[in-house]
């Protein structure tokens, strides 16, 4: 007997990432404003809705290296989804005016576990 799985989920990743709600807040960033700094508690994930940002790291010797450039549709701060709450590994800074959805760590983990099939649609993988 062959059983077919029917997905009755009403989870909409686009709607989840477009609006503030419990555990999610839309923030406006000015150019050169930081989302978070290297060494801060990794307590949230950011989804960049508009604008551009950069991710940088600073070595023990004080040398800064650009890790990547981010644009609308990118996540930043995924290290907060690690099993153990830790510290930020890099600094995320707005290059120009940005609008982002700040998603609390626990809310993002809850959604990813509850809607595990949609975690891939969100571009995230739980560690």
Delineate the domains of the chain, giving CATH numbers in brackets: 21-119 (2.60.120.10)
Residue 98 pairs in a beta bridge with 29
Residues in the chain: 127
Is 50 exceeded by the pLDDT of residue 6?
Answer: no
The residue with greater pLDDT, 108 or 29, is 29
Question: Apex CA 65: angle with CA 39 and CA 63, to 5°?
Answer: 75
Per the confidence metrics, is the pTM higher than 0.85?
Answer: no
Query: Could you give the CA distance from residue 85 to residue 81 in angstroms, rounded to a whole number?
Result: 8
Percent of the chain as helix, strand, coil, to the nearest 5: 20, 35, 45
pLDDT bin (cut points 50, 70, 90) of residue 104 is: very high
- What tokens does 10 get? 């009403």
């Amino acid at each position: 007997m062959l059983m077919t799985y029917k997905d009755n989920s009403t989870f909409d990743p686009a709607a989840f990432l477009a609006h503030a709600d419990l555990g999610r807040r839309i923030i406006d960033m000015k150019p050169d404003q930081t989302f978070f700094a290297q060494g801060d508690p990794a307590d949230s994930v950011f989804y960049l809705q508009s604008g551009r940002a950069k991710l940088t790291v600073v070595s023990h010797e004080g040398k800064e290296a650009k890790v990547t450039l981010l644009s609308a549709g990118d996540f930043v701060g995924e290290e907060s989804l690690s099993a153990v709450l830790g510290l930020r590994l890099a600094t995320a800074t707005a290059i120009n005016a940005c609008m982002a959805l700040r998603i609390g760590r626990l809310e993002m983990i809850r959604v990813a576990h509850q809607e595990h099939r949609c975690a891939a649609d969100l571009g995230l993988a739980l560690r």
